[in-house]
C-alpha cells in the first residue's frame, strides 16, 4: 500500500480534496493504478474516483515514435490525470452552485444588500430586514451575506461593514500604556452598586475618549454609552484634557438641567486616562459646586471588557471617523448625525430594536 494512505485513512467525505487530487495524480500517472485500486487506497467510492479522473484528464503528446509510414505522426498521445485541472474544474463548479445561485436569481435583493452595507448596516440587521420584507421572495441568513462578501459576489468588501476588518497585522504587538495611579483616590469599579451590573435600569453610563489624529492641538470626542440601552451621547472637545472633559459634561448638564442630569446620569464608569483624573469636578454640579450630579467609578487597568458597551460604540464611530483622521475640521452637526445614526440603528442583541427604543422603554 502507498505510504500516503496514512494521511487519508478514515476519510468520510465524498468530496475530493486538493491533497487527494495530488495523490490520485501520483497513483494514476506514476504507479499506473486503476480506478478500483485508487478508490481502495483513498477509501472512496469507485464512481467518485472515476468521475474525478474524467474531470482531470488531459492529453499529452510524447515525441519519439517515428514511423516509416509518412501518414503516421512522429508522436504518441497519452492520457494523464492533472490534479491542477481537476481542481480548477471543481472550483468553477463550486462558484456556481449553492448559496450563490440563490442570489443570482434575485438581482434586486443583491442591490438592496449592497446599498444597506454602504449605509453601514450590518449583515445581521440586513438579514432581519430581508426576512421581514414582503418584497423579497428569497430569504437569506447572516452567514450567507458574509459568504457573498468574501466570495466577491457583492459589490462590497469587509472594509465596508459596520465594524470593518480589525485583524491585527502580522508581527504587530499591542503596546500597553503604563498604569495610572493618579485616579486611585476616586471610586473603583468594585465600589459600584450591583444594579449597575444587572442592567435592569437606565442611568448608568460608560465614558471614554476617541482620538482622530494624535497631537496636542487635535480635537477629540467624549463618548458616553448607556449600559442598559447602548444609547450614545457624543461631544466634540478641542483637546484631550481634564478641563475639556469637565466642560463637555457641564454643557450637557446645562442643556438638561441639574435634576434631569442627576436622573439621567446616576453613575459613570471610565478608564484611568489622565483626562478623567478630575473626579471631584466631574461629579460636582455646574450650578451649585456643593451639589453632586453623578458618581464616577474607575475601571481596572487593562480591562477594556469592563466598559464593553463603550468599546463597541467606539468601533462604530471609527466607521465614520477613522483612526488618524484629524477631527479639527469636523463640525458638531456631523457628530450629531453620527450620534443620531447610532441611536437609531437596529441592534441584534435587542431583537433589532434601537438604542432609543430600549432607553425610552426603560425610563417610561
Handedness of CA 32, 34, 35, 39 (dihedral sign): negative
Per-residue pLDDT at 284: 94
Q: Output the CA angle 13-18-21, nearest 5 degrees.
A: 90
Per-residue pLDDT at 185: 57
Cβ–Cβ under 8 Å, residues 129 and 116: yes
Cβ–Cβ under 8 Å, residues 180 and 272: yes
C-alpha cell of residue 248: 463637555
Per-residue pLDDT at 350: 94
Per-domain residue ranges of the chain = 5-94, 99-160, 187-363
- Which CATH architecture best describes the domain 187-363? 2-Layer Sandwich (3.30)
Mean pLDDT per 10-residue section of the chain, whose length is 364 residues: 44 72 88 91 91 85 51 66 82 57 71 87 90 86 84 76 51 42 65 90 96 91 97 97 96 95 96 91 88 92 86 92 93 96 94 96 90
Q: Where are the alpha helices (DSSP H) in the chain?
A: 5-8, 18-25, 35-42, 46-56, 83-94, 99-104, 107-118, 123-132, 142-150, 194-198, 242-256, 258-264, 279-283, 308-318, 332-343, 355-363
- Neighbouring C-beta atoms of residue 126, cutoff 10 Å: 21
**Phi, then psi, of 204 in degrees rounded to 5:** -115, 120
Helix, strand, coil shares, percent, the chain, to 5 = 45, 15, 40
Q: In which region does residue 125 sit, left (phi positive, over 0), alpha (psi from -120 to 50) or beta (all else)?
A: alpha
Per-residue pLDDT at 307: 92
Q: Which residues of 289-327 are buried (b: 16+ CB within 10 A; e: fewer)?
A: eeeebbbbbbbeeeeeebbebbebbbebbbbebeeeeeb
Amino acid at each position: 500500500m502507498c505510504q500516503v494512505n496514512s494521511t487519508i485513512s478514515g476519510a468520510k467525505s465524498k468530496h475530493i480534496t486538493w491533497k487527494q487530487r495530488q495523490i490520485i495524480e501520483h497513483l494514476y500517472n506514476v504507479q499506473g493504478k486503476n480506478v478500483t485500486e485508487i478508490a481502495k487506497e483513498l477509501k472512496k467510492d469507485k464512481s467518485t474516483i472515476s468521475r474525478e479522473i474524467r474531470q482531470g484528464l488531459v492529453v499529452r503528446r510524447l515525441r519519439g515514435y517515428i514511423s516509416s509510414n509518412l501518414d503516421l505522426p512522429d508522436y504518441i498521445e497519452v492520457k494523464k490525470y492533472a490534479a491542477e485541472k481537476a481542481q480548477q474544474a471543481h472550483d468553477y463548479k463550486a462558484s456556481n452552485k449553492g448559496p450563490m445561485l440563490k442570489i443570482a436569481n434575485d438581482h434586486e435583493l443583491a442591490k438592496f444588500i449592497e446599498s444597506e452595507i454602504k449605509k453601514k448596516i450590518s449583515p445581521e440587521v440586513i438579514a432581519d430586514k430581508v426576512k421581514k420584507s414582503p418584497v423579497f421572495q428569497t430569504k437569506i441568513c447572516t452567514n450567507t451575506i458574509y459568504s457573498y462578501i468574501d466570495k466577491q459576489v457583492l459589490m462590497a468588501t469587509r472594509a465596508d461593514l459596520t465594524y470593518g476588518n480589525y485583524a491585527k497585522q502580522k508581527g504587530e504587538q499591542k503596546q500597553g500604556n503604563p498604569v495610572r495611579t493618579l485616579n486611585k483616590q476616586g471610586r473603583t469599579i468594585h465600589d459600584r452598586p450591583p444594579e449597575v451590573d444587572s442592567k435592569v435600569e437606565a442611568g448608568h453610563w460608560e465614558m471614554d475618549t476617541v482620538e482622530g489624529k494624535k497631537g496636542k492641538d487635535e480635537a477629540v470626542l467624549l463618548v458616553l454609552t448607556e449600559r442598559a440601552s447602548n444609547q450614545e451621547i457624543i461631544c466634540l472637545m478641542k483637546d484631550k484634557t481634564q478641563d475639556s472633559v469637565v466642560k463637555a459634561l457641564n454643557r450637557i448638564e446645562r442643556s438638561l438641567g441639574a435634576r434631569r442630569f442627576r436622573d439621567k446620569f446616576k453613575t459613570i464608569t471610565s478608564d484611568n486616562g489622565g483626562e478623567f483624573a478630575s473626579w471631584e469636578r466631574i461629579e460636582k454640579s455646574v450650578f451649585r459646586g456643593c451639589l453632586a450630579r453623578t458618581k464616577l467609578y474607575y475601571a481596572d487597568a487593562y480591562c477594556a471588557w469592563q466598559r464593553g458597551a463603550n468599546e463597541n460604540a467606539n468601533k462604530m464611530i471609527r466607521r465614520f471617523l477613522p483612526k488618524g483622521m484629524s477631527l479639527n475640521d469636523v463640525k458638531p452637526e456631523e457628530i450629531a448625525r453620527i450620534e443620531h445614526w447610532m441611536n437609531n440603528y437596529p441592534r441584534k442583541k435587542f431583537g433589532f430594536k434601537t438604542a432609543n427604543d430600549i432607553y425610552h422603554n426603560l425610563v417610561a
